[in-house]
Amino acid sequence: MQLVIFGPPGVGKGTLSDMLSNKYKIPHISTGDIFRSEIKSGNSELIQYVEKGLLVPDMVVNKVVEKALKQENCRNGFIFDGYPRTTDQAEFLENALWKLKKSISLVLNLAASEETIIERLSARRNCSKCGAVFNLATMKPKKKDICDNCGSSLAQRKDDEPETVRKRIQVYRQETSTLIDYYKKKKLLFDIDASKRPKEIFNAVVKVIEANIKKE
C-alpha cells in the first residue's frame, strides 16, 4: 500500500504517519528524514544546496526519493510525508513506481482551520539542546520549561509563533493547490478532518483505507 499524506504544517502528519506505519508495517518516509540521512552519508549533490540554504531542485529530490523507494523496507509499501510537493515530482513518483510495478494507493489530505493549527503549534516547546519536542496541552514536560531528557530549558521555535504559522500555512496552500487538483482528478484524494484528536483522525483514516483499498 502506497500512501501519500498532505496537510499544512502543524496538522499532525507526522503523528498520523507513525500510527499508520505501526498498524500496516510499512515505513513512514519523511523527506526531512531521508535528507538528513543522505547528508550524513555524504551525498555531496544534496549537501551543496542544503549548506547554502538553497531550495533543493526537483531533480535532486527525486533522485533521493527513488533511491528510498528501492530499499527493501519499501517492498510492501510506504507512507510519504512531505513529498511530492509539485506536480513535476508527482509525475516523477508515478513513473518511478510504475517501474516497480506499483502505484499510489491513496492520498490523504489532512485539513484543519488556521486557528486550530495556530492553537496547537503555540503549545509546542522545543529543547534547544537535544531537540526533544513537548506540548503544553498534550505532552507537558515534568518540570515547567525544562526538558525531561537533558534538563536544558525549553523554548518556542520562531517557526511556531502565530505570525510565522499563518505565513507557513499560506505558502503551503499556494504550493499544493495544483497538486491537490492533480490527485483529485485521478480520484486518489481523500479529505480528512484533522481538527480532532490524533486517535480519532487515525480511526477515520483507517476506515477510508479499508473502504478504498483492494486486498492484494
Q: Which residues bind Zn ion (CB under 5 A)?
A: 127, 129-130, 132, 147, 149-150, 152
**Is 13 in the active site?**
yes
Give the shortest CB-120-to-Zn ion separation in angstroms.
21
Beta pairing partners, 110: 192
Whole-Å CA distances, 22 to 19, 28, 46, 104, 168: 5, 9, 30, 19, 29
Place of cell 521555535: 157
Return the C-alpha cell found at 74: 519499501
Q: Which is nearer to Zn ion, 21 or 156 (CB)?
A: 156
202 sits in which H/E element:
helix 198-212
**Is 197 in the active site?**
no
**Is 120 in the active site?**
no
Return the C-alpha cell found at 16: 498520523
Convert 4-36 to b/e letters by CB count within 10 Å (16 or more is b).
bbbbbebbbbbebbbbbbeebebbbbbbeebbe
Give the shortest CB-9-to-Zn ion separation in angstroms.
22
Q: Which is nearer to Zn ion, 130 or 137 (CB)?
A: 130
Q: Which is nearer to Zn ion, 148 or 161 (CB)?
A: 148
What secondary structure letter does DSSP report for 146?
B
Q: Which is nearer to Zn ion, 81 or 160 (CB)?
A: 160
Q: Which is nearer to Zn ion, 33 or 148 (CB)?
A: 148
Quote the CA–CA distance of 53 and 98 in Å, as a whole number.
33
Catalytic residue among 25, 36, 140, 157: 157
Give the shortest CB-125-to-Zn ion separation in angstroms.
10
Return the C-alpha cell found at 26: 510499512
Quote the CA–CA distance of 150 and 132 in Å, as a whole number.
9
Give the shortest CB-137-to-Zn ion separation in angstroms.
19
Active-site positions?
13, 85, 124, 157, 168
